[in-house]
A and B are shown apart, each in its own frame.
Chain A
Amino acid sequence: MKKASIPIVIPPGCWGGIHHDVRPWFPRQWLRGMTILGSVCLISALFLRAADYGDAYVDSSIGDASLLNPVLLSDSASGDIAGLVFNGLVKYDKNIQLVGDLAESWKVSRGGLVIVFHLRQGVRWHDGQPFTAEDVLFTYQKLKDPKVHTPYASDFDDVQSVVAPDPYTVRVTYRKAFAPGLASWGMGIVPKHIFEKGDFNTHPANRRPIGTGPYRFKEWKTDQYILLEANPDYFEGKPYLQRYVYRIIPDQAVQFLEMRNQTIDSITLTPDQFKAYDSIFEHHQRYRYPSFKYVYFGFNLKNELFKDLRVRQALAYAIDRQSMVQGIVLGLGQPITGPFPVTSWAYNAEVKPMPCDPARAKALLAECGWKPDASGRLMKDGKPFAFTLMTNQGNKVRELCAEVIQQQLKKVGIDVTVRIMEWSTFIHEYIDKKNFEAIVMGWQLGRDPDNYAMWHSSQQKEGQYNFCGYENPEVDRWLVEARETFDPVRRKALYHQIHAHIAADLPYLFLYCPDELVAIHKRIRGPEVAPLGLAWNFREWWVPKKEQRYKTVMTP
Chain B
Amino acid sequence: MISLYLERFRQNRLAVAGFLFIVLLALLALFAPWLCPHDPLAQNLVERLHGPSAAHWLGTDDLGRDVFSRLLLGTRVSLSVGFVAVGIELVIGVTLGLCAGFFGGKLDTLVMRLVDVMLSIPAIFLILAVLAFLGPNIYNVMVIIGLTAWPGLTRLVRGECLSIREREYIQAARLSGISTARILFVHLLPNVISPILVSATLGVGGAILTESALSFLGLGVQPPAPSWGNILSIGRDYLHMAWWLSLFPTVAILVTVLAFNLLGEGLRDVLDPRT
Chain A interfacial positions (CB closer than 8 Å to B) = 251-253, 256-257, 260, 270, 272-273, 276-277, 280, 323, 326-327, 393-394, 399-400, 403, 407, 420-422, 425
Q: Which residues of A contact B136 (CB under 8 A)?
A: 393
CA distance A252 to B136 in the complex (A): 21
A403-B241 contact given A272-B49, A272-B62, A422-B135, CB 8 Å threshold: no
Assess whether B104 is interfacial by the CB under 8 Å rule.
no
Assess whether B182 is interfacial by the CB under 8 Å rule.
no
CA distance A179 to B125 in the complex (A): 48
Q: Which residues of B contact A277 (CB under 8 A)?
A: 240-241
| CB 8 Å contact bits of B219-235 with A (1 = contact, 0 = none) | 00011100000000000
- A393 & B238 in contact (Cβ 8 Å cutoff): no
CA distance A399 to B63 in the complex (A): 12
CA distance A252 to B62 in the complex (A): 16
Given contacts A272-B62, A272-B237, 10 further A-B contacts (CB under 8 A): A256-B240, A257-B239, A270-B237, A272-B49, A273-B237, A273-B240, A276-B241, A403-B224, A407-B43, A425-B135
Q: Which residues of B contact A257 (CB under 8 A)?
A: 239
Assess whether B13 is interfacial by the CB under 8 Å rule.
no
Q: List 8 A-B contacts (CB under 8 A).
A: A253-B237, A253-B239, A257-B239, A270-B237, A272-B49, A327-B45, A403-B224, A407-B43
Q: How large is the interface on B (under 10, 10 to 19, 20 to 34, 35 or more residues)?
A: 10 to 19
Which chain B residue has the least Cβ–Cβ distance from A323?
B45
Q: Which residues of B contact A251 (CB under 8 A)?
A: 236
Chain B interfacial positions (CB closer than 8 Å to A) = 43, 45, 49, 62-63, 135-136, 218, 222-224, 236-241
- B241 & A394 in contact (Cβ 8 Å cutoff): no
CB distance from A440 to the nearest CB of B (A): 15
- B222 & A272 in contact (Cβ 8 Å cutoff): no
CA distance A272 to B45 in the complex (A): 13
- A400 & B237 in contact (Cβ 8 Å cutoff): no
- A276 & B240 in contact (Cβ 8 Å cutoff): yes
Q: Which residues of B contact A273 (CB under 8 A)?
A: 237, 240
- A393 & B43 in contact (Cβ 8 Å cutoff): no
CB distance from A253 to the nearest CB of B (A): 5
- A400 & B63 in contact (Cβ 8 Å cutoff): yes
- A253 & B49 in contact (Cβ 8 Å cutoff): no
Q: Which residues of A contact B238 (CB under 8 A)?
A: 272
CA distance A414 to B29 in the complex (A): 33
Q: Which residues of B contact A260 (CB under 8 A)?
A: 240
A280-B63 contact given A327-B45, A403-B224, A422-B135, CB 8 Å threshold: no
Which chain A residue has the least Cβ–Cβ distance from B131?
A422
CB distance from B117 to the nearest CB of A (A): 27
Q: Which residues of A contact B240 (CB under 8 A)?
A: 256, 260, 273, 276-277, 280
Q: Which residues of A contact B222 (CB under 8 A)?
A: 393, 420
Which chain A residue has the least Cβ–Cβ distance from B238?
A272
Q: Which residues of A contact B218 (CB under 8 A)?
A: 394
CA distance A151 to B218 in the complex (A): 29
- B237 & A252 in contact (Cβ 8 Å cutoff): yes
